[in-house]
Amino acid sequence: MRMMKLSLLSLAVASSTLSHAAFAAEDFSNLFTQGKPILDARYRYEHVDQDNALKHANAQTLRTRLGFQSGKWYGLSALVEADNVSRIGDAAYNDTRNGQTEYSAVPDPDGSEINQALLRYDHQYGSAVLGRQRINLDNQRFVGGVAWRQNEQTYDGALAQLKPLDGLTLTYAYIDQVNTIFGPDNGRYDSAANPANIEGHSHLINAQYVFMPELTATAYSYLLDLDNLAITPTGAEGALSSQTTGLRLNGAIQGFSYVLEYAQQQDYDSNPQELDSDYYLAELGYTLKGVALKAGYEVLGGDEGPGNRAFQTPLATKHAFQGWADQFLITPADGVEDAYAGVTVPLLGGSLQAWYHDFRAEQGSSQYGEEIDLSYAHPIPGVKGLVGLVKYASYDADDFAVDADKAWLQLQYSY
């Protein structure tokens, strides 16, 4: 893949103003002596129970990550890390690649691949990254790494950030390939709705200015060229190519926090459908003595035209939005309104979360359903870097999908 073949010289050009004598002053060995290893292991048990003909899913998987983050040499550094996802025990679940379609889905297929491999240059006025990398923009509602799944979503391309003024950050990224959670391999059981790699030439533009703690403004335009991706397994490829342009305002004052956001989505590149839908978000939070309350209203607009032309977020970290049961990974054709409220409470050295969602159609009068989400995370005593998690999601269907219950037990060690 051509972005992965760029040499260290391509980044060194950015620092060409430094003289040869200056380079001699800093030891090249800093790249190794000041580097650090990367070790991360995550065991997870996931149970899925849906009110349909599919068998209950019971998945045990282990994600192991090994890598190395180099030190810096005149702002230059490198990172490489490899992931392996392995099944433990029986394959009593549909991982989207194993052909176990009689079971509910747990999209954590087995396999090994390079998760990140990049060259980076840091300067007092910004940075540049080339190669396979993690890209998380803002709250990851539009572009993120989907790190909840065992195989993280990463991006092949180039990213540059410029900070010409205090409080101002300008970000541009070019993406040549998206390495999805469904990888590393395709096979006889994949489809255009879940390719291992999404091909295309996408551009991400993001400008953020922190006026004061009470107000941060972020303007963005994401031009997604997703050539081989479809909404449904047999749908038209390219139907998720889009241009999303929006404005986000957020801030905090005296314990209160808020978010206001609006975006419009239109078709882009060779999308066979005409898109024209809107996104709205209003959120209010309050934190007192570590207890964080939050309530919000999020709308992904629908469209009355033929097919599904609703507002979609194909590169988002979707698990963090619209409930942990993941019932709205593809926005329904009539759109979705999500009214939600939640609380995060420090408890016995850990963190307890509880959330409630009410889902309705953005167009029409359909009541989709309701959801309750609960989780508790706690460091394991005596083992630095080891954290345990218990998590549960219950979706009560009305006019959309079926009742679904999901439960997780997880142990993660990070060095």
Residue 300 has pLDDT above 90, yes or no: yes
List Cβ neighbours of 84 (8 Å cut-off, separation of 6 or more): 63, 64, 65, 111, 112
What class, spelled out in words, does domain 2-332 have in CATH? mainly beta
Tell me the per-residue pLDDT of 168-222, one tens digit each, with 9 for 90 and over. 999 999 999 999 999 999 999 999 999 999 999 999 999 999 999 999 999 999 9
Count the Cβ atoms, other than its own, within 10 Å of residue 366. 16
Tell me the per-residue pLDDT of 314-346, one tens digit each, with 9 for 90 and over. 999 999 999 999 999 999 999 999 999 999 999
Tell me the per-residue pLDDT of 52-68, one tens digit each, with 9 for 90 and over. 999 999 999 999 999 99
d(CA 58, CA 50): 12
Residue 4 has pLDDT above 70, yes or no: no
Residue 3 has pLDDT above 90, yes or no: no
- What letter would DSSP give residue 213? T
**Contact of 86 with 97, CB cutoff 8 Å:** no
pLDDT of residue 304: 83
Mean pLDDT rounded to a whole number for the chain: 94
d(CA 138, CA 279): 16
d(CA 191, CA 241): 17
pLDDT of residue 20: 45
Domains of the chain, by residue range, sit at: 2-332
Exposed e or buried b for every residue in 144-169, given b needs 16+ CB within 10 A? bbbbbbbbbbbbbbbbbbbbeeeeeb
* Span 271-295, average pLDDT: 97
**pTM for the structure as a whole:** 0.93
Q: Strands 336-347 and 350-360: what pairing? A: antiparallel
d(CA 30, CA 314): 40
Q: Which residues pair with 296 in a beta bridge?
A: 283, 340
pLDDT of residue 1: 52
Which has the higher per-residue pLDDT, 35 or 26?
35
